[in-house]
Chains A and B, each alone.
Chain A
């Protein structure tokens, strides 16, 4: 039977772990609220932008701008995976890595090769254990997802697509629904998918001011940046949500463990007292 001192030690260690998980939960909850608000606020803009672009892609001649053009070649596809830099957030990184791996392995669109770009240290590690080596990793950008970072990554992607280095771009990220619900989503970022044509609407060429080319080369890259930014925020809110619920259940488990250990501790203590009493009594009776 375990001795009293060992059990005591374990209780103390579990307690201090619980303190950490509780603190982390509180921090995650605070950050989660902020991130949740940020994504709720950013969604309408991104959605409208998508709407404008989808109808634009429907009406517009794909040859008008390189970003509208679908590459016939199925050479290389870029997969941008959004994960987190820190762990202890449940299945967050695992899920996104799993989805990314599945996407690349199944290769539904028949690309020759994939370039995997990962945001967040943990995603890279998860992918590595699954045998996918990231071609490029951005670390320490998720904590404060700024538009500037998203824009930078967007510009690089746009450049790659325009130069024909990649023939399609996909985003893999945790879409945020609620604190306990995140779903891994794979979005096609480039080429831009045109909206479903409504039967009665004629594709009317809109007026462009200034010239068509100028408008397109301003709005298309911007669209890519906005969508990446949105995915950033989605992923961030999901991360904090996932961490919150992971820490919640960790704290709960710790409480259960402490209760079980305390019970065991008291039992052992009682057993020790009983043995000592028996020894004293039997000692005393032998003297008499």
Chain B
């Protein structure tokens, strides 16, 4: 298909990306979903997860953290809290964070207020590890 998607990713800290891509896959709040050119207008909530986009035959991965996606007229606007590409992920740090979160979660019981915060941290660490260990991008 000749048509392309215009993908824009912004976080409160910076504009991460503004590119023409062929396809995206995003971690929707109700499950992973894909968008191809010609998609119907869509507004959805993103969860913590792995976001990927395809340009030609190259697939790029990003770890994103909670936000929104708006699809309209082959424009994909991604508003997320954080977005980290593979190059920006510190695997060692993510693994350390995972270990910490797991250890603490064992001590707490699910009713604690901290439990949910920690679970979030755990999830983010998992996603980072998943994205970071995807191997090289080509």
Contacts and interface: CB of A to CB of B under 8 A. Distances in A.
Contacts of A56: 43
Given A44-B15, A215-B44, A219-B68, A49 B29 contact: no
A249 to B, nearest CB: 34
B44 A52 contact: no
A207 B42 contact: yes
A206 B42 contact: yes
Contact of B79 (A41, A48, A55, A208): A48
Contacts of B13: 41-42
A52 B79 contact: yes
Contact of A209 (B8, B10, B15, B28): B28
Interface in A195-225: 204-210, 214-215, 218-219
Given A208-B43, A210-B30, A55 B72 contact: yes
Contacts of B45: 209-210, 214-215, 218-219
Interface string A222-265: 00001001000000000000000000000000000000000000
Contacts of B33: 209
A177 interface: no
A45 interface: yes
Contact of A206 (B10, B14, B28, B40): B40
B70 interface: yes
A226 B12 contact: yes
B99 interface: no
A170 interface: no
B12 A207 contact: no
15 contacts: A41-B12, A41-B14, A51-B77, A55-B72, A206-B40, A206-B42, A206-B70, A206-B72, A207-B42, A207-B43, A208-B42, A208-B43, A209-B28, A209-B30, A210-B30
Contacts of A147: 12
Nearest to B29: A210
A207 B79 contact: no
A41 B42 CA distance: 26
Given A52-B43, A206-B72, A209-B30, 14 more contacts: A42-B12, A42-B13, A44-B10, A45-B15, A45-B79, A49-B79, A51-B77, A206-B40, A206-B71, A207-B42, A209-B42, A209-B45, A218-B45, A219-B43
Nearest to B40: A207
B52 interface: no
Contacts of A208: 42-44
B120 interface: no
A56 B40 CA distance: 15
A44 B41 contact: no
Interface in B8-43: 8, 10-15, 28-30, 33, 40-43
Contacts of A204: 40-41
Interface string B40-60: 111111000000000000000
Given A48-B77, A52-B79, A215 B43 contact: yes
A42 to B, nearest CB: 6
Centre residue among A42, A45, A204, A207 by max chain B CB count within 10 A:
A45
The 4 A-B pairs at the shortest CB distance, nearest first, are namely: A206-B41, A209-B44, A44-B15, A207-B42
A209 B33 CA distance: 11
A45 B10 contact: yes
Nearest to A55: B72
A202 to B, nearest CB: 11
A215 to B, nearest CB: 6
A206 B43 contact: yes
A229 B12 CA distance: 10
A161 B98 CA distance: 40
Contacts of B28: 209
B14 to A, nearest CB: 5
